[in-house]
């Protein structure tokens, strides 16, 4: 458990030591939402709102995840792997990245409210909206951490993250857009439950697979 906490602390420290990177991502979110505003001015359907929000979320997550392995360099990793098991490292990294994406998505939701107003949120079930936000973000974080680890190890650069990541992430994206739209229309938990179930399945299988496969990935 202490190893886990130390790993978290390491991730946080790394993040805050590179303040320009974090600021860069925040600016990216702001710019994306602003471009959405300039091109649409107002959103008149829940589906468009949900779709735009998660496309923004997807690209933000891609941007934030690309450097997750790159930034530490080979030496740090070798050192870490001599200290703890690779599964713990992966778990800490996945959960940390899930949280990071969730925070970024909350920021993006704030910007959406700022630019587009809250006229579409009249019927929204906010508990559902936020649980969707958390589950979608964690799915993005976990899957993309794994994919970026894979592409880091392949040594082919960051371009591969997008190529490998996009097909893998599409099912999650479809489901989360559907769930968010449902939450905004004002569906009950029962009516929206199937989407929630699929989200949980996708999250669970992504976490399970990345924990299962990561030990084979890091070995040189």
Binding-site ranges for another protein (CB under 8 A):
146, 150-151, 153-156, 160, 163-164, 166-168, 170-171, 174-175, 178, 194-195, 197-198, 201-202, 205, 209, 213, 215-217, 219
Angle between helix axes 86-116 and 73-83 (nearest 10 degrees) is 120
Least distance (Å) from another protein to the CB of residue 210?
Answer: 8
Cβ-based nearer residue to another protein, 96 or 146: 146
- Residue 62 CB, shortest distance to another protein, in Å, is 15
CB 74, min distance to another protein, A = 14
Tokens describing residue 87: 């599964």
Q: How many other β-carbons are positioned within 10 Å of the β-carbon of residue 88?
A: 18
Min dist CB 206 to another protein, Å, is: 8
Q: Which residue, 32 or 148, is less far from another protein as judged by CB?
A: 148
Q: Write out the two tokens for 182.
A: 């449902």
Tell me if 98 sits within 8 A of 17, measured CB to CB: no
Q: Which is nearer to another protein, 106 or 200 (CB)?
A: 200
Q: How far is the CB of 52 from another protein (least distance, A)?
A: 18
Between 18 and 205, CB nearer to another protein: 205
Cβ closest to another protein, residue 126 vs residue 216 = 216
The DSSP 8-state label assigned to residue 187 in this structure reads -
Q: How far apart are CA 111 and CA 117, in angstroms?
A: 9
114 vs 209, beta carbon nearer another protein: 209
8 A C-beta contact, residue 139 and residue 202: yes
- CB 213 to another protein: min, Å: 5
């Amino acid at each position: 458990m202490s190893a886990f906490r130390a790993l978290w602390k390491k991730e946080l420290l790394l993040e805050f030591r590179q303040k320009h990177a974090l600021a860069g991502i925040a600016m990216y979110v702001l710019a994306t939402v602003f471009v959405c505003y300039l091109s649409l001015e107002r959103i008149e359907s829940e589906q468009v709102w949900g779709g735009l929000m998660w496309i923004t979320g997807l690209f933000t997550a891609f941007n934030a995840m690309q450097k997750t392995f790159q930034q530490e360099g080979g030496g740090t990793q070798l050192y870490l792997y001599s200290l703890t098991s690779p599964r713990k490292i992966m778990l800490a990294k996945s959960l940390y990245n899930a949280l990071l994406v969730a925070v970024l998505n909350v920021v993006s939701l704030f910007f959406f409210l700022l630019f587009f107003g809250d006229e579409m949120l009249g019927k929204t079930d906010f508990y559902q909206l936020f649980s969707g936000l958390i589950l979608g973000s964690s799915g993005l974080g976990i899957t993309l951490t794994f994919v970026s680890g894979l592409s880091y190890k392949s040594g082919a650069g960051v371009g591969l993250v997008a190529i490998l990541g996009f097909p893998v992430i599409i099912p999650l994206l479809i489901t989360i857009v559907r769930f968010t739209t449902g939450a905004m229309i004002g569906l009950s938990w029962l009516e929206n439950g199937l989407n929630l179930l699929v989200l949980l399945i996708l999250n669970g299988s992504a976490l399970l697979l990345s924990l299962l496969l990561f030990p084979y990935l890091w070995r040189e």
